[in-house]
């Protein structure tokens, strides 16, 4: 499989360090002096020291070596400048070296494959149909356009809590076979934890998205940001505001995402294959520039029939006994339609986990 060149920088030949360059230059200078001195050296005979008067005319003095070393450093600096990595220290270049051969991209093999994945996702969570349809169209377009990997336009899933938005994103990533980055917007320090920040801040880091790409060597992870509307912002000493929503803007636009500059490394990356899924319970606090860059899908409450069907399928998938599955579905079916507190998908998952714990406990005793 071909690798995707996500980093817009190159790594120099490891042998092109100042010491090696200096050695090559000194050797070449000795060779030139030997020729001028009339010493006939073939390619295979470039061995020193040379005996006699010629050795004095060929030998490099301490001043010669200082000049050679200075020239070697200048040449090496020029090589680094052309790579786009000259401003980084050795540790940073080492950290980024994992990307020098590119990264893998999860891809959809065919239109039939896209249809199969979408049908499976819809069968598991039919109440999430608008989101599944959005992903399905993205899968099919990835195949039709001949893209190197799967990419999905940024989407906002707006709906009440507890309907399974997070679970749906997790299943989408598992079915496609790509890495996933989970971000709780209420717990992140503005944009810093997601896209990184410049050095000088106490929390300086590359950002979780780039860290995932470097660790998993994948160029199209799915990034899920939960409760985006609750993300705060911080201010610098110059009274500049750094908010998560504003930091996402260049990454949500395909043209700017393809040439995105990491504020930590100050190196450009092609992030156009990253899929962004933003989860909200309310759209009102979000800025218009962010809303205009995303497909907005409004989701409805999950009904009891869907919850019961999900509990049956998930229970079977977890290998629970028929008795345990019946107990969970029976408890759900007894919820009054007009009850003030309705169970959510989160409730069902907890019930299934509890049933599994009880089964394992009975086996152990």
More confident residue, 306 or 235: 306
Give residue 201's pLDDT. 60
Residue 67 phi/psi, 5-degree rounding, is -65, -40
* Adjacency order of strands within the sheet including 275-280: 180-184, 222-226, 275-280, 155-158, 295-298
Residues whose CB is less than 8 angstroms from the CB of residue 56 and which lie 6 or more positions away in sequence, other chains included = none
- Do β-strands 295-298 and 155-158 pair in parallel, antiparallel, or remain unpaired? parallel
Q: Are 138 and 320 in contact (CB under 8 A)?
A: no
Coil, helix or strand for 243? strand
Please state, for a pLDDT cut of 70, what percent of the chain lies above it.
85
Is 263 within 8 Å of 195 (Cβ atoms)?
A: yes
Residue ranges per domain, the chain? Answer: 18-88, 111-298, 304-364
Q: How far apart are CA 233 and CA 191, in angstroms?
A: 8
Q: Assign residue 23 a region: left if phi > 0, alpha if psi is -120 to 50, beta otherwise?
A: alpha
pLDDT single digits (tens) 35-51? 777 766 554 444 544 44
Helix (H, G, I), strand (E, B) or coil at 202: coil
pLDDT at position 185: 84
Half-sphere exposure of 250 (CA within 13 A, CB side): 16
Mean pLDDT across the chain, nearest whole number?
A: 85
pTM of the model: 0.79
**Topology given in CATH for the domain delimited by 111-298:** Rossmann fold (3.40.50)
End-to-end CA distance of the chain: 50
| pLDDT for 365 beyond 60 | no
* Segment 186-222, tens digit of pLDDT: 875 656 778 877 666 656 788 899 999 999 999 999 9
Radius of gyration for the alpha carbons in the chain, expressed in angstroms and rounded? 30
């Amino acid at each position: 499989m071909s690798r995707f060149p996500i980093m817009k920088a190159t790594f120099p030949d490891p042998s092109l360090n100042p010491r090696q360059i200096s050695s090559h230059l000194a050797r070449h200078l000795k060779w030139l002096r030997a020729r001028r001195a009339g010493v006939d050296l073939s390619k295979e005979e470039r061995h020193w020291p040379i005996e006699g008067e010629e050795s004095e005319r060929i030998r490099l003095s301490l001043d010669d070596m200082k000049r050679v070393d200075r020239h070697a450093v200048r040449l090496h600096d020029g090589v680094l400048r052309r790579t786009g990595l000259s401003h980084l220290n050795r540790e940073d270049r080492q950290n980024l070296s994992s990307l020098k051969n590119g990264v893998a991209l999860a891809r959809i093999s065919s239109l039939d494959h896209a249809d199969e994945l979408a049908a499976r996702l819809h069968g598991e969570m039919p109440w999430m149909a608008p989101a599944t349809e959005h992903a399905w169209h993205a899968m099919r377009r990835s195949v039709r356009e001949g893209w190197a990997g799967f990419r999905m336009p940024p989407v906002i899933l707006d709906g009440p809590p507890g309907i399974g938005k997070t679970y749906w994103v997790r299943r989408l990533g598992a079915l496609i076979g790509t890495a996933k980055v989970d971000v709780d917007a209420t717990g992140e320090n503005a944009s810093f934890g997601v896209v990184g920040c410049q050095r000088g801040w106490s929390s300086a880091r590359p950002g979780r998205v780039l860290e995932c790409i470097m660790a998993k060597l994948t160029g199209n992870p799915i990034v899920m940001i939960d409760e985006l509307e609750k993300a705060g912002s911080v201010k610098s000493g110059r009274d500049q505001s750094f908010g998560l929503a504003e930091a996402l803007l260049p990454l949500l636009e395909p043209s700017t995402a393809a040439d995105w500059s990491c504020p930590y490394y100050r190196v450009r990356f092609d992030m156009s294959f990253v899929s962004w899924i933003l989860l909200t319970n309310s759209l009102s606090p979000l800025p218009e520039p962010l809303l205009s860059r995303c497909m907005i899908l409004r989701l409805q409450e999950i009904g009891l029939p869907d919850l019961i069907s999900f509990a049956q399928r998930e229970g079977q998938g977890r290998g629970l006994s028929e008795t345990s599955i019946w107990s969970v579905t029976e408890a759900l079916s007894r919820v009054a339609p007009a009850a003030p507190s309705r169970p959510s998908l989160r409730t069902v998952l907890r019930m299934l986990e509890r049933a599994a714990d009880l089964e394992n406990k009975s086996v152990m005793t």
